[in-house]
A and B are shown apart, each in its own frame.
Chain A
Amino acid sequence: MKRSDLILIVLVLCLAALPLAGGAYTLRLGTMAAMSCILALSWNVIGGFAGYPSFAAAAFFGLGAYTTGILLGYKVPLWLSLPIAAGLSFALAGLLGAVLLRLRGHYFAIASLALVEVLREIVNHATDLTGGGMGLNIPVTAGTDIMADARFFFYAMWLVLLVTTIAVIAVSSSRLGFGLSCIRQNEAASQMVGLNTTLYKSIAFGLSACFVGAAGGVYAAWVHYIDPTDVFDILYSVKPIVMALIGGLGSSLGVMIGALLYLVLEEVVWRNYIQFHSAVLGALIIALLLFLPHGLTSLRGGLLLRRLRGA
């Protein structure tokens, strides 16, 4: 294991001590932070390792949220609903990936974005199962005590983060990670040396979806009520990309730090400039990307831009 991977694991383990430090508000922040890290680390598998800039995260976040919400409605326990949501996200992403990942650069980016719209519309129209635009009420899974509830969902999200972290570290040091790196650098040459690029890309896309699906599931159980505009929100796709860009593409530790830094920025801006929150945050992000175009930890930021231009 590389040293940066070790630091990453330690960082995630440290997060587990958060409930010792604060009240319900801190735990809420911690849960959101863990969720953001899951999304950013997941995006890095397809966007950073394989070089395919995906905007599909919101699709699988929503899929996981609805799958879990519906299963909980049928009295399936949370510990079983989450792996099912993750498995479904993996399978759907893997299958769709075999088709979508034939596209490159901005064509792929746009197609992955369309996936979010498609899933949202399906959920909107499958009223019997999902409640459609009216949203879905989800039975309470934790206790009624506010602190216990906050602690429970924090640890649920944290556990998904831990699994995600272990998975991305395993991928980056495996044959799969090596192959994805080949694909990012030269896909034609990868095929020519015997690499089944379609399979590798599909697995990467599946992995980048399954933990996001599980995070969506925890989120749904946590907030007790979801509707299509909430969980298929395109910001779930965009923010992880910004986080990964801040941190520097490719390195999991960098991406995690980028996610945390982004959240600090967002929180500070939200507290102090509540009226023009989005504008200030947008300006800050643009400034960061302009002055740190390659992220904080590595020098690969330009690569995504090149990809987006359709290299």
Chain B
Amino acid sequence: MPEILKLDNVSRRFGGLYALRDVTLGIDSGEILGLIGPNGAGKTTLVNVVTAVTPATSGRVAFAGEDITRVKSYQAARRGLSRTFQVVQPFPEMSALDNVAAAAAFSRPGTSLHAARDAAREHLAFVGLEGMAGQSAATLTLAMRKRLELAKALAMRPRLLFLDEVNAGLNTAEVERATGLIHQIAKSGVTIVMIEHLMKVVLNVCTRIAVLHNGALIANGAPRDVIKDSAVIEAYLGQQYARRHGHG
């Protein structure tokens, strides 16, 4: 499998704090990479660096063989990098349909608004929001807004899709539904990087796991190896286990 994304010694500093520290990571075309780690580990920052929201302080990012370290967000988007936000980012006054149409229209400059709305209808149907097409995004429930976020990301026809905690705040049924969608998206040929705290989902979906801790990559490999890694258990999984079983 060819490498679709390559981070080379990427660091991102906020003042004195290293949110990412010399991260070197490759992502193969077609895989579903789980990106895990405790709160503040730098997971969202990694997505922000790749999608040019907060550029890297040092290091290089290459996408499909081309250097994208210094491109702008909108250029990254047009190259086929798309993401959902951990805190959903809708266009609140617009209808669900126009939210998705915006993504379809602006990610490919030649697209007419009419064609974009047609495409948007399909993507809304895919995430099960066709009934909400005319509703303004602000009036949707959190679960629906998460799915809207996903429809927007898909409308950009991404080659690489980052999902930043799409399941946070959802109930069990909603998580199952979202997991089903992710499987389908992966099957359609989109490479996925998912940030996820629910280990059950990570193990169910991901073909590989990378672990961040204090901005550094501390593990990277097959799921069954990573969950047995002592550094990972110490930094993250132990903590999760303790939280789940109610003793701190």
* Residues of chain A whose beta carbon lies under 8 Å from any beta carbon of chain B: 175, 178-179, 181-182, 185-186, 188-197
Closest Cβ of chain A to B224, distance in Å, is 34
Closest Cβ of chain A to B70, distance in Å, is 15
Closest Cβ of chain A to B113, distance in Å, is 6
User: Contact check: which of B73, B91, B93, B113 meets A191 at CB < 8 Å?
Assistant: B73
Would A196 and B91 be within 8 Å (CB), given that A178-B102, A189-B85 are in contact? no
User: Contact check: which of A181, A186, A195, A196 meets B89 at CB < 8 Å?
Assistant: A186
Would A181 and B91 be within 8 Å (CB), given that A175-B113, A193-B156, A195-B102 are in contact? yes
Contact A192 B89 (CB under 8 A): yes
Q: How far is the CA of A175 from the CA of B112 in the complex (A)?
A: 8
Report A-chain residues with C-beta under 8 Å of the C-beta of B126.
none
Which B-chain residue is minimally distant from A196 (CB atoms)?
B74
Contact A189 B90 (CB under 8 A): yes
Q: How far is the CA of A85 from the CA of B119 in the complex (A)?
A: 42
Closest Cβ of chain A to B115, distance in Å, is 11
Confirm or deny: B78 has a beta carbon within 8 angstroms of a beta carbon on chain A.
Answer: yes
A-B contact list, 23 entries, CB within 8 Å: A175-B105, A179-B102, A181-B93, A182-B106, A186-B90, A186-B92, A188-B89, A189-B90, A190-B91, A191-B72, A192-B53, A192-B74, A192-B83, A192-B85, A193-B82, A193-B106, A193-B107, A194-B77, A194-B103, A194-B156, A195-B74, A196-B74, A197-B74
Q: How far is the CA of A239 from the CA of B152 in the complex (A)?
A: 39
Would A186 and B91 be within 8 Å (CB), given that A193-B107, A194-B107, A194-B156 are in contact? yes
Closest Cβ of chain A to B84, distance in Å, is 9
Report B-chain residues with C-beta under 8 Å of the C-beta of A181.
91, 93-94
Most chain B CB within 10 A, of A175, A186, A192, is at A192
User: Contact check: which of A178, A185, A192 meets B105 at CB < 8 Å?
Assistant: A178
Q: How far is the CA of A193 from the CA of B51 in the complex (A)?
A: 11
User: Contact check: which of A179, A185, A186, A193 meets B77 at CB < 8 Å?
Assistant: A193
Closest Cβ of chain A to B147, distance in Å, is 16
Contact A178 B108 (CB under 8 A): no
Q: How far is the CA of A282 from the CA of B112 in the complex (A)?
A: 46
Q: How far is the CA of A89 from the CA of B185 in the complex (A)?
A: 48
Would A185 and B83 be within 8 Å (CB), given that A178-B102, A191-B72, A193-B106 are in contact? no
Would A194 and B106 be within 8 Å (CB), given that A188-B53, A189-B85 are in contact? yes
Ordered nearest first, which 3 A-B pairs have the shortest CB separation?
Answer: A194-B107, A194-B77, A189-B89
Q: How far is the CA of A194 from the CA of B103 in the complex (A)?
A: 7
Report A-chain residues with C-beta under 8 Å of the C-beta of B94.
181-182, 185
Within 8 A of A (CB), among B101-144: 102-103, 105-109, 112-113
- With A181-B91, A196-B74 known, 11 other A-B pairs at CB within 8 A are A182-B106, A190-B102, A191-B74, A192-B89, A193-B103, A193-B106, A193-B107, A194-B107, A194-B109, A194-B156, A195-B102
Closest Cβ of chain B to A184, distance in Å, is 9
Number of interface residues of B (CB under 8 A): 28
Q: How far is the CA of A186 from the CA of B88 in the complex (A)?
A: 11
Contact A192 B90 (CB under 8 A): no
Would A190 and B106 be within 8 Å (CB), given that A185-B93, A185-B94, A196-B74 are in contact? yes
User: Contact check: which of B51, B108, B112 meets A192 at CB < 8 Å?
Assistant: B51
Q: How far is the CA of A185 from the CA of B90 in the complex (A)?
A: 8
Contact B51 A182 (CB under 8 A): no
Q: How far is the CA of A241 from the CA of B89 in the complex (A)?
A: 29
Report A-chain residues with C-beta under 8 Å of the C-beta of B107.
193-194
Would A179 and B90 be within 8 Å (CB), given that A191-B74, A193-B77 are in contact? no
Report A-chain residues with C-beta under 8 Å of the C-beta of B74.
191-192, 194-197
Report B-chain residues with C-beta under 8 Å of the C-beta of A188.
53, 89
Contact A185 B106 (CB under 8 A): no
Q: How far is the CA of A185 from the CA of B103 in the complex (A)?
A: 14
Q: How far is the CA of A186 from the CA of B148 in the complex (A)?
A: 15
Q: How far is the CA of A179 from the CA of B113 in the complex (A)?
A: 11
Which B-chain residue is minimally distant from A195 (CB atoms)?
B106
Q: How far is the CA of A189 from the CA of B85 in the complex (A)?
A: 9
Which A-chain residue is minimally distant from B152 (CB atoms)?
A193
Report B-chain residues with C-beta under 8 Å of the C-beta of A196.
72, 74
Report A-chain residues with C-beta under 8 Å of the C-beta of B156.
193-194
Q: How far is the CA of A185 from the CA of B72 in the complex (A)?
A: 20
Within 8 A of A (CB), among B176-207: none
Most chain B CB within 10 A, of A175, A179, A194, A195, is at A194
Closest Cβ of chain A to B104, distance in Å, is 8
Q: How far is the CA of A192 from the CA of B112 in the complex (A)?
A: 19
Contact A182 B91 (CB under 8 A): yes
Q: How far is the CA of A185 from the CA of B53 in the complex (A)?
A: 18
Report B-chain residues with C-beta under 8 Å of the C-beta of A195.
74, 102, 106
Report A-chain residues with C-beta under 8 Å of the C-beta of B91.
181-182, 185-186, 189-190
Report A-chain residues with C-beta under 8 Å of the C-beta of B83.
192
Report B-chain residues with C-beta under 8 Å of the C-beta of A179.
102, 106
Which A-chain residue is minimally distant from B83 (CB atoms)?
A192
Report A-chain residues with C-beta under 8 Å of the C-beta of B113.
175, 178
